[in-house]
Amino acid sequence: MKSAPLKSYKHTLRASYIGHITQAIINNFAPLLFLTFEGQYGLSLSKITSLVAINFILQLTVDLAAASFVDRIGYRKCMIAAHILCAAGLVCLGTLPDFLPNAYSGILISLILYALGGGLIEVLIAPIAEACPCDNKTEVMSLLHFFYSAGHVGVVIFSAVFFFIFGIENWQTLAILWAIIPILNSVYFLLVPIYSLPSGESEQASIKSLLRSKIFLLFILLMFLSGASEQSMNQWASAFAESALSNTTLSSYAKILGDLCGPCVFALMMGMSRLLYPRLQHKIHLEAFMIIASGVCALCYLIAAICPFAPIRLLFCGICGLSIGIAWPGIYVLAPKHCHGVSTACFALLALGGDLGCAAGPTAVGLLADKFNSLSCGLLVAAVFPVLLLLGVFFVKVISSNKAKGRLR
């Protein structure tokens, strides 16, 4: 570990928290502008959809590739590079579409830059936080992911206020302003101490050994189910909010408010669960909490699917966010306890599993809703994700209990 002017690991954690805010910016700012891109540049819906797919593919590629180069290059250099890529992407987003003859090319170049940075941040944040010499890893991981949710809410609210005051036609200025956060945090990461994971290099698990481990494969599956349970509902948050507002005095603004409020409600409730659980961990074990939360999540899917009242569906969409919020950070806490040789590869593969779930879950819901012409059908089937998550965490709890009793080595 190199010496740094800011000696305390608390600075490392703060820089990591801001890193997740950066990731929230690059994941959630551009989608607020999709309709603007369509109107201002005449982009087709197929091109806009391709932006989402490219962003997803690039982040998955980084998840998979990072395990092979991060340890050689070093966490500090990689994290600084990731933030610079994010900042460059945001600055390019605010300039290139109007500068280049083809606006789509400008947006695509911007997306490639910040998607690479965002994917690298996702892989690095967890092992950097895990390596910090603090006792309460559950609280650290919960707070780490709370700041992603808080960043999501902040991006939506601050952007909405900016557009209301200055007009959405000035979105390029806001894109450049958002770049200030990753620029400053890259400097922060230059100064904070970066710790190594506890295992020696010879003991760290390789990708091949991890993929031969049944318990680690279970954790990848749990990450997949966590991502699917989260995003299968989150993608419909806007629709639920729009339906709830359609018969009110705000009905003329239902579409705009739905797009803003729906994701905000879901992200806010997710953030609350990540903020509150560390205060409850002395009363209820993480595995037990995740089992209960997964059951509540499955119930939310069932009610959102069959309830005819839009406000109730929006309410349970929010409760779904509250219940599933602890799953992703919880798995990051549990996996190192059960898997031998904690390494960058471990966290990279977990991130890959989670991102695959985030893509597969909403896709499955959309295909089923389209096939049967019923969103309820898609949501009913999606309830299987949190049910399987419940069963998987229960199995982990059984393994943990048997280890404690000496039945397993």
Mean pLDDT of 55-77: 85
Per-residue pLDDT band for 147 (boundaries 50, 70, 90) equals very high
State percent of the chain over pLDDT 70.
Answer: 89
Residue that terminates a domain, selected from 135, 166, 194: 194
pLDDT at position 156, please? 87
Are the C-beta atoms of 120 and 149 separated by less than 8 Å?
A: no
pLDDT at position 242, please? 67
Domain-located, residue 163: yes
263, exposed or middle or buried, with CB in 10 Å at 0-12, 13-18, 19+? buried
147 and 272 in a single domain? The answer is no
94 and 177 in a single domain? The answer is yes
Per-residue pLDDT band for 3 (boundaries 50, 70, 90) equals very low
398 Cβ contact partners less than 8 Å away, ≥ 6 residues apart: none
Question: Measuring CA to CA, which residue among 162, 59, 63 is closest to residue 114?
Answer: 59
pLDDT at position 214, please? 87
Q: Which amino acid is at 356?
A: L
CA distances 310 to 36, 294, 376, Å, are: 27, 23, 12
Distance of CA 206 to the CA centre of its chain: 25
pLDDT at position 234, please? 83
More confident residue, 91 or 265: 91
CA distances 74 to 23, 68, 85, 169, Å, are: 20, 11, 17, 41
Domain-located, residue 338: yes
pLDDT at position 21, please? 96
Mean pLDDT of 16-37: 90
Domain-located, residue 2: no
User: What is d(CA 283, CA 241) in angstroms, rounded to the nearest whole number?
Assistant: 34
Residue that terminates a domain, selected from 194, 224, 241: 194
59 and 142 in a single domain? The answer is yes
Domain-located, residue 255: yes
Question: Measuring CA to CA, which residue among 244, 389, 372, 378 is closest to residue 306?
Answer: 378
Residue that terminates a domain, selected from 135, 163, 194: 194
163 and 310 in a single domain? The answer is no
Are the C-beta atoms of 88 and 96 separated by less than 8 Å?
A: no
Mean pLDDT of 223-242: 83
pLDDT at position 253, please? 59
115 and 215 in a single domain? The answer is no
More confident residue, 405 or 226: 226
CATH code of 170's domain: 1.20.1250.20
Helix/strand/coil percentages in the chain, nearest 5: 85, 0, 15
More confident residue, 74 or 137: 74
Domain-located, residue 409: no
pLDDT at position 341, please? 63
279 and 396 in a single domain? The answer is yes
Per-residue pLDDT band for 202 (boundaries 50, 70, 90) equals very low
User: What is d(CA 148, CA 154) in angstroms, rounded to the nearest whole number?
Assistant: 10
User: What is d(CA 23, CA 152) in angstroms, rounded to the nearest whole number?
Assistant: 9
Per-residue pLDDT band for 1 (boundaries 50, 70, 90) equals very low
Range with lowest mean pLDDT among 199-213, 223-237, 386-400 = 199-213
Q: What is the mean pLDDT of the chain?
A: 86
pLDDT at position 60, please? 84
45 and 105 in a single domain? The answer is yes
Quick: pLDDT tens for 38-60. Answer: 889 998 877 887 887 788 888 88
Quick: pLDDT tens for 302-335. Answer: 998 888 887 888 888 889 999 999 999 999 989 8
Q: What total number of domains does the chain contain?
A: 2
pLDDT at position 201, please? 43
- The pTM of the full predicted model, rounded to 2 decimals, is 0.85
Domain-located, residue 147: yes
161 and 40 in a single domain? The answer is yes
Range 329-333, long-range pairs (CB < 8 A, 24+ positions): 329/138, 329/141, 329/142, 329/144, 329/145, 329/274, 330/138, 330/141, 330/286, 330/289, 330/290, 331/219, 331/222, 331/223, 331/226, 332/126, 332/130, 332/141, 333/137, 333/138, 333/141, 333/286
156 and 214 in a single domain? The answer is no
Domain-located, residue 1: no
User: What is d(CA 23, CA 74) in angstroms, rounded to the nearest whole number?
Assistant: 20
Q: DSSP code of 6?
A: S
Domain-located, residue 365: yes
Range of the domain at 334: 203-404
166 and 240 in a single domain? The answer is no
**Length of the chain (residues):** 409
Question: Measuring CA to CA, which residue among 235, 231, 293 is closest to residue 262?
Answer: 235
273 and 361 in a single domain? The answer is yes
53 and 157 in a single domain? The answer is yes
278 Cβ contact partners less than 8 Å away, ≥ 6 residues apart: 136, 138, 139, 142, 143
User: What is d(CA 180, CA 174) in angstroms, rounded to the nearest whole number?
Assistant: 10
Neighbours of 337 (CB within 10 A): 12
